[in-house]
Every structure is written in C-alpha cells, then in structure tokens.
Amino acid sequence: MRMRSPIPKKHARIEIIPLIDIMFFLLASFMMVSLSQTHMKGIRVDLPSKNSPPPPPNQPKDFVSIRVTEGNLIYFDNAPVSDEQILPRLFELHQSNKDIKVSLSAEQTALHGDVITLLDRIRSAGITKIGYQIKAAPPTGSAGTLPPPPPPPTQP
C-alpha cells in the first residue's frame, strides 16, 4: 500500500519578477560602467574670469592673428598692413618674443599662392609656432542656396 506524505509536495516554478529585477540591475550597472569609461577629448581652455587683472601693457605679445583676403590684402590683428611692412613687422614681433605664436587664416577668395608667400615670410622671420584657422566650406548646390548674382554689365 502506498502512503502519501502529510507534507504537501511543492512543484518547482520559476519566478519571473525577481529575474526581471536582476536584469534591470545588470543593465543599469553596465550602463554606468560604460559611461565612466568614456574620456572626453578636447582642448583645455582657461577662460578669463571677471576678477582676473588685465595683462600689463609692457608685456610682449605672445600671439598675433594674420589674415589674408582677396587681392593679397594682409591684416595683423585686424589692422591692415602694406606689403613692404610685413617682413619688418614679423622680425619685430620675433625679436620682442622668440616664442610668439602666429594664427594664419585666409578668406575663401584669397589666392593660394598669396597665402603660401605669407607663410614663407613668417618662416623666414624665424617664427616656428604657426597655427592655421580653417573653416569648412559651405555646401554648394544644396537646397535653399542660390548662386552668387552675376556682376552688372559695364557700359562702354
């Protein structure tokens, strides 16, 4: 004769709610670990504060911005400079500060040869720290852009 146990027999079952909780915990953990492993790559910038004093006026310049425009017009810190004044001014800047930095930029309509000639003059003055300001060219032929208008006809 077969006897049954007075203790009821429990059937094994899988609880889904604790499984979901564990999966959310693992997902959140992996997300936090992956976010902590990303490194921001950028240039550290020291911005001036309102409490910082202005630089003394007798301190030599350590940075000059040079811009070339159409027609080989050259600007030093937005001040126009004639062609024969360029090389003496570069020598003067280099003599006042051997570690002077030059930022060279050119408008899109400036000729390539004019920019290279200016670059050669900068290097001949002994300046070696040269940076280039480069802007992305605007997309051509995209929707909403118009070609430049033709020049007006000249009257003979």
Residue 43 pLDDT greater than 80, yes or no? no
- Within a domain: residue 95? yes
Neighbouring C-beta atoms of residue 90, cutoff 10 Å: 24
The pair of structure tokens assigned to 153 is 């006809």
- Within a domain: residue 13? no
Which residue has tokens 């040869």?
113
Residue 53 has a pLDDT of: 73
The Cα 21–Cα 52 span in angstroms is 53
Residue 24 pLDDT greater than 90, yes or no? yes
- Within a domain: residue 155? no
Domain count, the chain: 1
Report the CATH number at residue 68: 3.30.420.270
3-state secondary structure of 58: coil
With beta carbons less than 8 A apart as the criterion, state whether 90 and 127 touch. yes
pLDDT grade for 60, boundaries at 50, 70 and 90:
low
- Within a domain: residue 117? yes
Residue 23 has a pLDDT of: 94
Taking only the tens place, the pLDDT of each residue in 68-79 is: 998 889 999 888
Residue-number span of the structural domain to which 113 is assigned: 63-133
**Amino acid identity for residue 24 in this structure:** F
With beta carbons less than 8 A apart as the criterion, state whether 124 and 97 touch. no
- Within a domain: residue 26? no
